[in-house]
């Protein structure tokens, strides 16, 4: 079976270490990820801003890239969520619509694949640190990825999970929202970062680099040293330590 990596443009360009962690972690279970080079961006920035024609041009690279994959795994609930919008995006295009529907069915967020499909709960990691978790909105609300990350973290030896106050509140990223409504977004991310600090955790972990980039950016802006990691990185790091 062909399991493909949908890296997402953000992880490709800014956080390649997240993709690397996913590749290494899945390899431990005998999953050899395939990486189609024609993929670019899921088109979400254009889609959410109302530029659907432009979004389709970008989405086409994703549809082509994964046409013959059996599973498409991404490190972002939001980008996988965008693929779930493809049937709507291509609703008036009889040629692309079936491809969009097919891709939706075979797309998974990383922990969804690991826990739901492979049935892995314990990756055998050791990570003796205080960790707090931000559940990103699109992954948790729209894809319903809620228990998977918690299940994985519960099985990491030494990991102390500190609940994040108001965890389910949006971090204020929202793509172009952060630029268009900069002050509202700023108020939201500042509050989120305040809550992260309140936990006194050493590490903030999440499933979506866009949100984590947003929160980490604010934490760093204010001189805070909390480490910010994608869960795949934390797990891979923990496996190496075990």
Partner 1 sequence: MSGTDKGGTTVKERAGLALNDEFLRKAVKFTTERLRNGKKAAAEQHGNWDEWRERGRQIRLHTIAHLDYYLNLFADNARKNGVHVHFAETGEEAVRISLEIARRVRAKTVVKSKSMVTEELHLNHALDSIGVEAIETDLGEYIIQLAGETPSHIIIPAIHKNRYQIADLLSAEAGETLPPDTTVLAGFVRKKLREKFLEADIGMTGCNFAIAETGSMVLFENEGNARMVTTVPKTQITLMGMERIIPSWADLEVMATLLPRSATGQKLTVYMSGITGPKRVADGDGPEEMHIIIVDNGRSLQLGDPEFQELLNCIRCGACLNACPVYRHIGGHAYGGTYSGPIGAVLTPALKKNVAEWDDIANASSLCGACYEACPVKIPLHEMLIYLRRRKVEAGRGNALETAGMKGFAAVMGNVKRYRTALKLGRIGQKLVVREGGIRLKVGPLKGWNAYRVAPSLAKETFRERWATLEQEIRSDLREMDPTMKERMERAARERENGKGGHSHGEG
Phi, psi of 152 (to 5 degrees): -60, -40
Assess contact for 172 and 166: CB atoms under 8 A.
no
Q: CA end-to-end span of the chain, whole Å?
A: 29
Min separation Cβ 128 and partner 1, Å: 26
Assess contact for 116 and 143: CB atoms under 8 A.
no
35 is an interface residue for partner 1 by CB under 8 A: yes
Which listed residue (38, 158, 200, 240) binds partner 1 by CB under 8 A? Answer: 38
User: What part of residues 98-157 is at the interface with partner 1 (CB under 8 A)?
Assistant: 104-106, 108, 112, 116-119, 137-138, 141-144
Helix (H) or strand (E) holding 131: strand 130-134
**Measured from the CB atom, is 139 or 238 closer to partner 1?**
139
Q: What is the pattern of x (binds partner 1, CB under 8 A) and - over residues 151-190? A: -----------------xxx-xxxxxxxxxxxxxxxxxxx
92 is an interface residue for partner 1 by CB under 8 A: no
Residues in contact with partner 1, counted by CB under 8 A, come to a total of 94
Q: How many residues does the chain have?
A: 242
Which listed residue (126, 150, 194, 217) binds partner 1 by CB under 8 A? Answer: 217
- Name the segment binding partner 1 (CB under 8 A); options: 40-48, 122-130, 152-160, 230-238: 40-48
Which listed residue (11, 74, 76, 132) binds partner 1 by CB under 8 A? Answer: 11
- Name the segment binding partner 1 (CB under 8 A); options: 52-60, 123-131, 152-160, 234-242: 52-60
Closest by Cα among 82, 180, 182, 171 to 133 = 171
**Measured from the CB atom, is 159 or 173 closer to partner 1?**
173
Which listed residue (103, 216, 226, 231) binds partner 1 by CB under 8 A? Answer: 216
Assess contact for 106 and 68: CB atoms under 8 A.
no
Min separation Cβ 134 and partner 1, Å: 12
DSSP E strand stretches across 60-100: 71-74
242 is an interface residue for partner 1 by CB under 8 A: no
**Measured from the CB atom, is 130 or 222 closer to partner 1?**
222
Determine what percent of the chain falls in helix, strand and coil, rounding each to the nearest 5: 55, 10, 35
Min separation Cβ 174 and partner 1, Å: 3
Assess contact for 113 and 151: CB atoms under 8 A.
no
Which listed residue (6, 46, 111, 125) binds partner 1 by CB under 8 A? Answer: 46
The three-class DSSP label of residue 229 is strand
The whole-angstrom separation of Cα 58 and Cα 47 is: 10
The whole-angstrom separation of Cα 192 and Cα 177 is: 16
């Amino acid at each position: 079976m062909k399991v493909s990596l949908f890296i997402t443009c953000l992880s490709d360009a800014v956080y390649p270490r997240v993709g690397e962690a996913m590749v290494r972690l899945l390899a431990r279970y005998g999953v050899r990820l395939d990486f189609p080079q024609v993929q670019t961006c899921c088109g979400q920035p254009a889609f959410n801003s109302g530029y659907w024609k432009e979004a389709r041009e970008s989405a086409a690279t994703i549809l082509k890239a994964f046409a013959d994959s059996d599973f498409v795994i991404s490190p972002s609930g939001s980008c996988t969520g965008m693929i779930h919008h493809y049937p709507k995006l291509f609703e008036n295009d009889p040629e692309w619509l079936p491809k969009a529907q097919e891709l939706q069915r075979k797309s998974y967020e990383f922990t969804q694949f690991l826990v739901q499909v492979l049935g892995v709960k314990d990756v055998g990691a050791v990570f003796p640190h205080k960790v707090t978790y931000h559940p990103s909105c699109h992954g948790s609300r729209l894809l319903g990825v809620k228990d998977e990350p918690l299940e994985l973290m519960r099985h990491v030896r030494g990991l102390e999970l500190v609940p994040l106050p108001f965890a389910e509140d949006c971090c204020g990223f929202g793509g172009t929202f952060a630029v268009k409504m900069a002050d509202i977004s700023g108020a939201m991310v500042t509050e989120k970062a305040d809550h992260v600090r309140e936990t006194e955790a050493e590490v903030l972990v999440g499933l979506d680099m866009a949100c984590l980039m947003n929160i980490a950016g604010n934490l760093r802006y204010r001189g805070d040293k909390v480490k910010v990691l994608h869960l795949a990185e934390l797990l891979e790091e923990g496996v190496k330590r075990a």
